[in-house]
């Protein structure tokens, strides 16, 4: 009668198992380390209010990723955000800008400034403003400078030769807050493009 013998794994077999497990662990750790930054970036660079961003980006011929970048920098997607200067909503529309857009859109009697807390209305007005600035300046960085620092300031800087429409340099912006703002827009826009294009 044959005895049942337990098969022993030879030392070489243990070595192969050890190498295989080590290799699988390294692959797993590497994969997780690559995925965590991707998902964390997507967490920080969200695409909230996509329905409205896509709709009005298309209507006003804007890159939606640029619009997301403006919203991210302006309010971090908080529709109730209000700045110390009095700008309101997702795209931080100032009262005077609101009045001008409402007039141009023929809605002066239909909307009030409190409507800037409504995400759709705010995004529609913000996209309208961005389109006007892009039409005037041709470069999203200069348009962003005007969005933050005021169109009059940017026109003055261009007239005085402080900034150039043909060879724009962010560092030439004389207003430090606007210079910092445009830097943030540029880096945020690049991150959105890297993640979603």
Query: Which is nearest to 117 in space by CA: 81, 148, 147?
Result: 81
Within 10 angstroms of residue 134's Cβ, the number of other Cβ atoms is 21
Q: Which residues pair with 88 in a beta bridge?
A: 82, 93
As a whole number of angstroms, the distance between CA 68 and CA 90 comes to: 10
Separation of alpha carbons 128 and 124, rounded Å: 6
Say whether 177 is catalytic. Answer: no
Start-to-end C-alpha separation, the chain: 71
- Residue 129 CB neighbours (<10 A): 23
Catalytic residue among 51, 54, 59, 74: 74
Question: For the chain, what is the radius of gyration of the CA atoms?
Answer: 26
* Residues 193, 65 contacting (CB under 8 angstroms): yes
Cα–Cα distance measured from residue 49 to residue 124, given in angstroms and rounded to the nearest whole number: 12
Q: Which positions are annotated as active-site residues?
A: 74
């Amino acid at each position: 009668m044959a005895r049942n013998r337990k098969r022993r794994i030879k030392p070489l077999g243990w070595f192969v198992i050890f190498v295989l497990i080590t290799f699988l662990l390294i692959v797993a750790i590497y994969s997780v380390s690559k995925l965590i930054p991707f998902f964390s970036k997507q967490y920080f660079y969200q695409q909230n209010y996509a329905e409205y961003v896509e709709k009005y980006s298309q209507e006003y011929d804007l890159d939606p990723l640029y619009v997301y970048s403006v919203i991210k920098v302006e309010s971090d997607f908080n529709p109730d955000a209000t700045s110390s200067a009095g700008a309101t909503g997702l795209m931080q529309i100032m009262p005077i800008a609101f009045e001008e857009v409402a007039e141009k859109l023929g809605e002066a009697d239909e909307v009030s400034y409190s409507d800037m807390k409504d995400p759709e209305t705010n995004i529609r007005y913000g996209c309208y403003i961005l389109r006007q600035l892009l039409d005037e300046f041709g470069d999203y960085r200069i348009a962003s400078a005007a969005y933050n620092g005021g169109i009059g300031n940017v026109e003055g800087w261009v007239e005085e030769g402080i900034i150039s429409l043909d060879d724009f340099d962010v560092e030439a912006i004389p207003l430090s807050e606007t210079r910092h703002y445009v830097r943030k827009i540029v880096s945020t826009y690049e991150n959105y493009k890297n993640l979603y294009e």
